Amino acid sequence: MMAPDTSIPGAHPIILVLEADYRTDHGIAGLLSGPPANLQVVGCTRLTDLLDTIVRTRPAVVVLVVRGPIEPAIDAVKHLRHSIEADAVPVLMVAPATATIRAQALAAGVGDIVALDDNAEEIRARVNTLAEHYRHLVQRNEALHGLAQARSEIEHLRTQIAEQPQSKGDTDSLRQRLSGLLHLGHALAQIQDFHTLMERILSEARGMIGADAGTIFIREGDSLRFAYCQNETLARRTASGSTPRFASYRVPISDRSIAGWVALSGEPVKLDDCHRVDPALPYRFDPSFDQLLGYRTTTMLAVALKLRANRVLGVIELINATDRHGQQGRLFTPQDAALLEHFGSVASVALERTQMTESIILRMIRMAEIRDPSETGAHVERVAGYSAVLFEEWARRRGLLGADFERQRDRLRIAAKLHDVGKIGVPDAILKKPARLDPAEFEQVKRHAEIGGMLFEEQPTDYDEAAREVALLHHERWDGGGYPGMEVEGQHRGRRGEEIPLFPRIVGIADVFDALSSPRSYKEPWPEERVLEYLQAERGKHFDPELVDIFMARLDEIRAIRDFEPDR
């Protein structure tokens, strides 16, 4: 892959358009150059100049406009895919999108293909998605380099600790924790979902250092968003044994708060008593959260989650140090602070990678949202959250725990977010119709399941397989009355019972609950009581009866997710 430029693909990604009569105010180049596209368009008019232009301009995407014979363009793409300078640059082909041309183009290495008469919004959306994929690839390579650096720093810290005078017990314990860090980087690298990763990072940090509670703040512009928390004391008060969900809030990156000061300075904070902060320090502890929850924060350790060049992604806070038996009362030590800083280096690499994955998913969702305004980021986050809760209880009842459980839950959360991405293939007039659909229109809407499945049908990873399965089958019904169905002995019928895989069964009930609970262009939101009555009435008909029972058993957590991710 050619050496990445820092501008690829940043605020204004470079898009190279190859068009025989290229002009910035004409054709596809004109569509991409005009507002509201946030793109820097450069042009090329001859296939023979394409590789040289790529090397010179380093584009995020090549848009190949074909109005004549397809064969020269196919040969040019194959040439790019065998070039070390341009093998990874994604290509969007704009051509007559017949099935034969599409098959030839994808086989040659085209990233996506659209018809010449597709609308400007869709072409821009697809260009942006390919640009984001390329940014993900470039930054993933940088992240792997950062992980190697973090491991090197941990080894250096291990050497420093070995040279410091301390008891054998302390030395052995610290060495064990450092060895755990080296293995943890690989484990974190396997997690794709951002929420799952934050949960894992926080639980690993609390276990490694010893803390009753913890919080992760994620940097967004000039503020920190309260993104995730764990609290063992509060979890023990709940029926599920899980930390309650709290409304998200933001704190400015300034020296007034502890988290804000850590993000601003990049320096760690270690407090032996949060209620007695040195008056000479600019920041203060805010006790209002404790007062709301009936909890008391005493000791705190906070470090910045930093990448290379001291770029801060967020802040991790550990609260109320515990001993090896989980008892509170000890103080955080300087060694704890050093260890947490190096843990933060490993965790930051994984966080940046999953943020890139998340941004790609959100772009795909926005493409669907162009067609269907109900397919919002908040909706898919809620469906993913509900699905994770249902799977956790389903797995708990079967004794499925550990790394395999976490990986399956991670796959499910990713797939649930993409359940309706196939709506990009359904006409706007149908999806945005402010009334109920007639039978013919509904048949067109039903195609979104097969379109969504097709987007992931190459199945290069088990994440793609989960996304394909959910997109294709989440409208099947337990009683066999759903779609798209299957062929059995020459007859077409809907899948029924456990012929429907678990993930689509879970996402199906989560999606229906959220759709009924939310406003749509053709209806007002149903009251919760009516929605729950519907789920119960469809137990064993539309829905897996066990999953309906699980839904009702974990209703408090479902409500918390609904309230945490409101429509914006």
Flag whether 3 is in a domain: no
Flag whether 340 is in a domain: yes
Flag whether 499 is in a domain: yes
Cα atoms found within 13 Å of the Cα of residue 473, Cβ hemisphere only: 27
Domains held by the chain: number: 3
Beta strand extents in 81-154 (DSSP E only): 91-94, 112-114
| Inter-CA distances, 478 with 277, 466, 532, Å | 59, 19, 18
Q: Is the domain of 397 the same as that of 332?
A: no
User: What is the reported pLDDT for 38?
Assistant: 63
Helices (H) and strands (E) in the chain, counts: 20, 13
Question: Can you say how many angstroms the Cα of residue 484 is from the centroid of all Cα atoms in its chain?
Answer: 27
Q: Is the domain of 322 the same as that of 385?
A: no
Residue type, position 386, single letter: Y
- The residues pairing with 520 across neighbouring beta strands, listed in sequence order, are 523
Flag whether 69 is in a domain: yes
Q: Name the DSSP class of 115.
A: -
Q: Is the domain of 340 the same as that of 228?
A: yes
Q: Is the domain of 348 the same as that of 401?
A: no
| Inter-CA distances, 249 with 217, 246, 256, 310, 565, Å | 10, 9, 16, 25, 12
Q: Based on the number of CB atoms within 10 Å of its own CB, is 292 exposed (0-12), middle (13-18) or buried (19 or more)?
A: exposed
Question: Can you say how many angstroms the Cα of residue 8 is from the centroid of all Cα atoms in its chain?
Answer: 21
3-class secondary-structure state, position 262: helix
Which of 322, 353, 384 is the C-terminal boundary of a domain? 353
Q: Is the domain of 425 the same as that of 342?
A: no
Tokens of 533: 């009555």
Q: Is the domain of 490 the same as that of 560?
A: yes
User: What is the reported pLDDT for 124?
Assistant: 77
Peptide bond into 90 cis (omega under 30): no
Q: With beta carbons less than 8 A apart as the criterion, state whether 385 and 561 touch.
A: yes
The CATH number assigned to the domain holding 523 equals 1.10.3210.10
Q: Name the DSSP class of 322.
A: B
Which of 114, 131, 148 is the C-terminal boundary of a domain? 131
For residue 29, what is the enclosing H or E element?
A: helix 27-33
Flag whether 115 is in a domain: yes
Domain, as residue range, for 438: 372-564
Flag whether 9 is in a domain: no
Q: Is the domain of 93 the same as that of 231?
A: no
Q: With beta carbons less than 8 A apart as the criterion, state whether 135 and 9 touch.
A: yes
Q: With beta carbons less than 8 A apart as the criterion, state whether 229 and 287 touch.
A: no
Which of 291, 323, 353 is the C-terminal boundary of a domain? 353
Q: Is the domain of 87 the same as that of 185?
A: no
User: What is the reported pLDDT for 499?
Assistant: 93
Question: Can you say how many angstroms the Cα of residue 289 is from the centroid of all Cα atoms in its chain?
Answer: 28
Q: Is the domain of 338 the same as that of 385?
A: no
Tokens of 487: 């062929």
pLDDT in single tens digits along all 568 residues of the chain: 443 343 333 446 788 888 876 665 566 776 676 665 567 888 888 888 888 788 777 888 888 888 888 898 898 888 888 777 677 788 888 888 787 888 888 888 888 888 877 667 777 777 877 777 666 665 555 554 444 454 454 445 445 444 554 544 455 555 555 555 555 665 676 677 777 888 888 888 898 889 999 999 989 889 998 888 999 999 888 776 777 777 667 899 999 999 999 999 999 999 999 999 999 999 999 998 888 888 999 999 999 998 766 788 899 999 999 988 889 989 999 888 988 888 887 788 777 777 766 777 777 776 666 656 665 678 888 999 999 999 999 999 988 877 678 888 888 998 999 998 888 777 777 877 777 888 888 888 899 899 888 888 765 667 788 889 999 999 999 999 999 999 888 899 999 999 999 999 999 999 999 999 988 766 789 999 999 999 999 999 999 999 999 999 999 999 988 887 776 6
Flag whether 476 is in a domain: yes
Q: Is the domain of 340 the same as that of 385?
A: no
Q: Is the domain of 329 the same as that of 406?
A: no
Tokens of 128: 């942006």
Among residues 568, 562, 566, 561, the alpha carbon closest in space to that of 245 is found at: 561
The CATH number assigned to the domain holding 70 equals 3.40.50.2300
Flag whether 331 is in a domain: yes
Q: Is the domain of 395 the same as that of 253?
A: no
d(CA 215, CA 218): 10
Q: With beta carbons less than 8 A apart as the criterion, state whether 369 and 417 touch.
A: no
